[in-house]
Amino acid sequence: MHRYISNFPFAFAHSYPFIPTSDATISYGGGIPTAIHHCSGQSLVDPNEYDFESMALKALGGFVLILNENGDIYYVSENIETYLGFHQSDILHQPLFEMIHSEDREDIRLQLAWNYNVPLHMTCLQDILTPNGMPYLERNFNARFRCLLDNTCGFLRIDVRGKLMSLHGLPNSYVLNRIENHSSGNMVLGLVAVCSPFVPPNVADQQQLDDPILKTKHSLDFTLVSTDNQMKALLELDDKNLPYSFYSLVHVDDATCIAEAHKEVTKNSASGILIYRLISIRSQRIYWIQSSCRMFYKNGKPETIGLTHRLLT
């Protein structure tokens, strides 16, 4: 990720917290913007710190997204789960358009094109890859992203700010197959961007997000394959217990409710809100839970079922 972050510091420079303007400045000498104290000359932010990446993501107020020219998710930072409720592993290499409101998809397709909104005299990519042309590769737009956090499968408006850049590490077969059909030859441009909520949540909202929303991932037969730490503690599960039959955790009187939701998500890719009881493994404690289900796809085929839960008791 550092390869791309270092090439668009404008997206990060405004985000460094707690830097008085009279005592510090931003240096770009090493690619990644670094705060330098005027008096001591000491860097206030060290990119080599072991937790630099997590600190940078917190300072951004959003998540990092890299798309290839077709709109597939080449990379997304883990903290997308904080803002939209999606697990990073579930959406990597999947089309972004499946997460975007249908009315906003065409705008994103246009933004991914290198010749979007460029002057008429710039007829090829090489005209853009000049000092005068580089500003035309910058992008700033907003779109409605599907959000799983509120258990309603609603949308959250996200501000997307970044630029088109050359992507590295793509399979040779992908590059070779496109040379004859693209004026950019073997250069593959993708969008590298920071995505932030259009109305940023305040600290209190963020704390509320971290607490009540629980997440689990299931195989297509609804077997529980992974879960967040809060849900593990609630159900008294260990990693060695997984995978685990989810139906065996459900109160016997609510099994029909879960079975119907299972059928619904298999047929329609999502379920409505369901309220039922889960029972912890060891203490047999009963919890009332509100959940919704969503199917996740890979290469166009159903792969896993994701559930978001809200603890009611």
Residues 278 and 245 in one domain: yes
Amino acid letter, 281: I
Instruction: Say whether both 185 and 141 belong to one domain.
Output: yes
Query: 14 in a domain, yes or no?
Result: no
Residue 280 and residue 185 share a domain: no
Total structural domains in the chain?
A: 3
H-state helical runs in 23-142: 52-60, 80-84, 88-91, 105-111, 125-128
Spacing of C-alpha 87 from chain mean position: 8
Q: Are residues 56 and 66 in the same domain?
A: no
Rounded CA separation 248/283 (Å) = 14
pLDDT of residue 205: 44
Instruction: Looking at the structure, tell me whether residues 100 and 50 fall in a common domain.
Output: no
- Please report whether residue 193 resides in a domain: yes
Domain that holds residue 295: 213-311
Q: Is 69 inside a domain boundary?
A: yes
Cα dihedral sign, 30-36-42-43: negative
- Do 54 and 73 lie in one domain? The reply is no
Last residue of a domain, one of 9, 44, 60: 60
How does DSSP assign 20-45, residue by residue?
-TTTEEEE-TTSS-EEEETTT--BSS
The CATH number linked to 165 is 3.30.450.20
With respect to residue 16, please indicate whether it lies within any of the assigned structural domains: no
* Residue after which a domain boundary falls, among 152, 173, 197: 197
Q: So what's the pLDDT on residue 16?
A: 40
Query: In this predicted structure, what is the pLDDT of residue 24?
Result: 41
Here the tokens at position 287 are 């919890």
Residues 185 and 75 placed together within one structural domain of the fold: yes
Residues 193 and 72 in one domain: yes
Contact 166, 189 (CB under 8 A): yes
Q: Are residues 74 and 167 in the same domain?
A: yes
In a domain, 11, yes or no: no
Residue 22 domain-assigned?
no
- Same-domain check for residues 43 and 117: no
- Length of the chain in residues, anyone? 313
Report in angstroms the alpha-carbon separations of 302 from 86, 168, 250, 281. 16, 29, 24, 29
pLDDT for res 51 = 65
Q: Which SS3 state, helix, strand or coil, does residue 3 take?
A: helix
Q: What is the CB-side half-sphere exposure of residue 134 using CA atoms within 13 A?
A: 6
| Residue-level pLDDT at 173 | 54
Q: Which residue, of 197, 222, 238, is where some domain finishes? A: 197
- Measured CA to CA, the distance from residue 114 to residue 135 in angstroms comes to 11
Q: Which residues pair with 159 in a beta bridge?
A: 142, 196
Residue type, 148: L
Question: Tens place of pLDDT for every residue, the chain, 313 residues?
Answer: 545 544 444 444 444 443 344 444 444 444 444 444 444 445 545 566 666 666 677 667 789 999 998 899 999 998 898 888 888 988 998 999 999 999 999 999 999 998 888 888 887 888 888 888 888 899 999 999 998 876 445 888 899 999 998 887 766 655 555 544 555 556 788 999 999 887 655 443 444 444 568 889 999 999 999 998 889 989 999 888 899 999 999 999 999 999 999 999 999 998 888 889 999 998 898 998 989 899 999 888 999 999 999 888 6
Residue 163 φ/ψ, nearest 5 degrees: -155, 160
Query: Are 103 and 148 contained in the same domain?
Result: yes
* pLDDT tens track for 174-187: 555 554 455 555 67
Q: Is residue 146 part of a domain?
A: yes
Do 69 and 187 share a domain, yes or no? Answer: yes
**CA dist 89 to 75, 269, 273, Å?**
10, 18, 24
Terminal CA-to-CA distance of the chain, rounded, Å? 41
Q: Does residue 17 lie within any of the structural domains?
A: no
